[in-house]
Amino acid sequence: MTSQIKITDSHCHLDFPDFDEERAEFVSRAVEAGVHRMVIICTRLKNEPSVRTIAEEFAPVFYAAGTHPMSAAEEPMTSVDELCRIAQHPKMVGIGETGLDYYYTAESKAVQQESLRIHCAAAAETGLPLIIHARAADEDMVQILAEEHKNAGFGCVMHCFSSSRELAEAALDLGFYLSMSGIGTFPKSQEIRDIFASAPVERILVETDAPYLAPPPFRGKRNEPSYVVHTAKVAAEVFGMSYESFAVQCEQNFERLFSKAVFS
């Protein structure tokens, strides 16, 4: 049964108010579905203490922290030292999400780029993977990631990947990973599925980005970590694999990149 097959939701926002009243139930429902591990993404560092508390409360939950590009102009600029300090917590397993978003916040390009470079340096310093948000900024994203990776190598996942084939290929060439969200399951997302299909399956993760982007049959509803199973089933079909085989591969991929999140 699906519930016996383990898989990880590599990116969710269980700290959001959408889950405040029933957070324990969402975690329990995910575990029952076989989602034995979840990574909450803190998008504003001022919220890191509350996100950390959730990770400490629930054994299957880990977290990452950074400044989301759409918030970069509103938040105090972080530092490599600050991110490294936070990263000392045993359940803090990634740097970000960070990145570039010129679709909604093009006016803060310069601030976003500065923030992204700081996060890249922190990922290199800590050995934790970078979590990237990219929207309408492919050219600058490729340039900055390539420059920073050349300066000091780091692991990285392109979260909720829905950008161009060129960005996907550039990321893969750097040894990075692509993560499929509910977007990859939508009927009109064949182009995205084709990009994933051309990538090595050893570099693929899955996520919900909950509470956003619920996959069918829940599209339009609040997403939750248990629904990552539905996205993973579509991803398995993209790679011509059984769900069980894909889940095993996906777990190996996650643990290779997020090595700090491996259960002892």
For the stretch 217-230, pLDDT in tens is 999 999 999 999 99
pLDDT of residue 2: 47
H or E element that contains 117: helix 109-126
pLDDT tens column, 198-218: 999 999 999 999 999 999 999
The C-alpha atoms of residue 43 and residue 46 are separated, in whole angstroms, by 9
Structure letter (DSSP) for residue 246: H
Torsion of CA 130, 59, 56, 157, to 10 degrees: 10
Can you give the three-state secondary structure of 138-200, one letter per residue?
HHHHHHHHHHHHHHCCCCEEECCCCCCHHHHHHHHHCCCEEEECHHHHCCCCHHHHHHHHCCC
pLDDT of residue 15: 97
- Is the whole-model pTM more than 0.95? yes
- The total of other beta-carbon atoms located within 10 Å of residue 4's CB is 7
The closest alpha carbon to 19, from 10, 9, 29, belongs to 29
Q: Are 203 and 253 spatial neighbours (Cβ–Cβ below 8 Å)? A: yes
Sorting pLDDT into bands at 50, 70 and 90, what band is 120? very high
pLDDT of residue 43: 97
Q: Are 34 and 228 spatial neighbours (Cβ–Cβ below 8 Å)? A: no
Within 13 Å of residue 28, how many CA atoms lie on the same side as its CB?
4
For the chain, the distance separating the N- and C-terminal CA atoms, rounded to the nearest angstrom, is: 25
Cα distances (angstroms) measured from residue 48 to each of 24, 41, 66, 139, 193: 19, 9, 9, 30, 33
Domains (range + CATH), the chain: 2-261 (3.20.20.140)
Question: Percent of the chain at pLDDT above 70?
Answer: 98
Write down the mean pLDDT value for the chain.
96
Can you tell me the mean pLDDT for 161-183? Answer: 98
Q: Are 95 and 148 spatial neighbours (Cβ–Cβ below 8 Å)? A: no
Q: Are 41 and 225 spatial neighbours (Cβ–Cβ below 8 Å)? A: no
Tokens representing residue 167 in the block:
């960005």
Question: Percent of the chain at pLDDT above 90?
Answer: 97
